[in-house]
Amino acid sequence: MIEQFSLPLSAPLTTAAGDIERRDGFLVGYDHRGVTGVGEATPLPSRTESLEECRGALGRALDVGTDDQHSRALLTMDAEEVPAARHGFATALVDADARADDVPLYRWFDADSRTRQVPVNATLGDDDVTETAVAAESAVEDGFDCLKLKVGARSLERDVERLRAVREAVEPDVTLRADANGAWGRDTAEEALEGFAALDVAYVEQPLPAEDLDGLAALRGGPVDVAVDESLVEHRVADVLEADAADVLILKPMVLGGPGNAHTIAMRARDMGVDPVVTTTVDAVVARTAAVHVAAAIPDIRPCGLATADFLEADLGPDPAPVEDGAITVPQDAGLGIELADLEVPE
């Protein structure tokens, strides 16, 4: 089953590729081991394949057949070429596997995991100093103890001022992160990390353009960690790790070709002393819940970027993993914890 959907955002989302006003994708159903698994393929401009390429890849995979043909179907989808399509199919497949084994998906990834909650961060937009501080106070009142600020669109001096206002507005034990989306050159990035260190910023996400692995590696070793996001689109994960370009990997299952790929990469990174953080690409409920299960299968996970449901004005169905007091309770039903019958594509 492939069913296309289009979900409006509650407000436009600004990215390096332009503003996003809707999330267009496909709901995927796949019969395997006597049950039907559900998946989601929601391409993101500049990060994955196009919507048309995604649909074509899904169609070819589902044409291969069901159940015992799943390995052949997966082989038709290259995670680097059509990651969103592979995510949709792979999620439906592992959902069916976990349902057949009668375990939640996160325990299908790691049978020893007993995680019940995943900590999440709040994301603060690129507002002025006063509005940013007010938004930070509001997020902390809602139970968040980790805040991520968008930086890089303004002058560095202004961003430092915004971060200082947030640090003064919240308790010292609230973790602060910054996300520059590759906006700076090497000199500015070095100056930023020096300035942010005094404000106890935990890490800066993508302080340099995605292709600059040498520059990212050179920034490491100071009081503020370096996280990579867009670099995982430009480079293979193995190359990023080999270049020692990151203290933290920002893992988006939709961009990496599925929840299984994301979990494997997370554990490989951990073995190499690099911390994983799981986030979404502002997905609908199926992919968002799959990302929650990935995070729950990673021991001692840092707060993750999974509190994105409010970016959507509408969704495909009820959320089995809502955010409360800065954390998400992991669904304990078999598979994803989502029933296909409860999902509906808006007209």
Q: Closest Cα to residue 248, out of 101, 146, 112, 128?
A: 146
Cα separation, 202 vs 86, whole angstroms: 33
* Structure-token match 């602060």, residue found: 176
Cβ atoms within 10 A of the Cβ of 35, count?
A: 16
Note if 150 is an active site residue. Answer: yes
Phi and psi of 46, rounded to 5°?
Answer: 75, -10
Cα separation, 192 vs 121, whole angstroms: 21
| 8 A C-beta contact, residue 90 and residue 257 | yes
Note if 252 is an active site residue. Answer: yes
Query: Out of 87, 148, 177, 252, which one is annotated catalytic?
Result: 252
DSSP lists the bridge partners of residue 137 as none
DSSP lists the bridge partners of residue 276 as 249
Non-local CB neighbours of 69 within 8 Å, separated by 6+ positions: none
Q: Closest Cα to residue 26, out of 329, 287, 304?
A: 287
Query: Out of 70, 86, 99, 150, which one is annotated catalytic?
Result: 150
Which positions are annotated as active-site residues?
A: 150, 252
